Amino acid sequence: MAGSVRYPTLFQINTRVWLERLSREAGKRITLAEIDDATLDSFALAVERLANRRRRSRRLMQ
């Protein structure tokens, strides 16, 4: 937590649901490696400047 803001923001995604949606929109299979910058930028835009932002990825690891 060093250097972080006092009250950060957390945005939870369900990784599989999120990737399935991105894949459907892109018309091809999208994994965590293929998420394009535009998606990440729009993702970041919502919480822009909320330093120490975090993503929680439910079931990313299993």
Partner 1 sequence: MLPDLTEDDIPGSGFAITTYTVNAALGGETALAQFREKLARRGIKLMLDFVPNHTAPDHPWVKAHPDYYVEGSEAALAEAPANYLRVETDKGPKILAYGRDPNFPGWPDTLQLHYANPELQMARIDELIAIAGKCDGVRCDMAMLLLPEIFQRTWGITPEPFWPKATATVLEKYPAFTFMAEVYWDLEWTLQQQGFTYCYDKRLYDRLRDGHAGPIRGHLLAGLDYQDKLARFLENHDEPRAASEFLWPQHQAAAIITFLSPGLRFFYDGQFEGARVRVPTHLCRGPDEPTNPEIAAFYARLLAVLKRTAFRDGAWSQIQPQPAWADNWTSDGFVAYACAGEPDDRHVVVVNYTGNQGQCRLLLPFPDLHGKQVRLTDAMGTEVYDRDGSDLVDNGLFIDHAPWHFNVFVLHPH
The interface with partner 1 within residues 22-61 (CB under 8 A) comprises 31-35, 37, 40-41, 43-44, 46-61
* Least Cβ distance, residue 25 to partner 1 (angstroms): 10
* Least Cβ distance, residue 8 to partner 1 (angstroms): 6
Contacts of 46 (CB under 8 A, 6+ apart): 11
Judged by CB under 8 A, the residue of 6, 26, 27, 28 near partner 1 is: 6
HSE at residue 55, side-chain half, CA atoms within 13 A, is 12
Q: How far apart are CA 30 and CA 18, in angstroms?
A: 10
Stated length of the chain: 62
- Residue numbers at the binding site for partner 1 (CB under 8 A): 1-21, 31-35, 37, 40-41, 43-44, 46-62
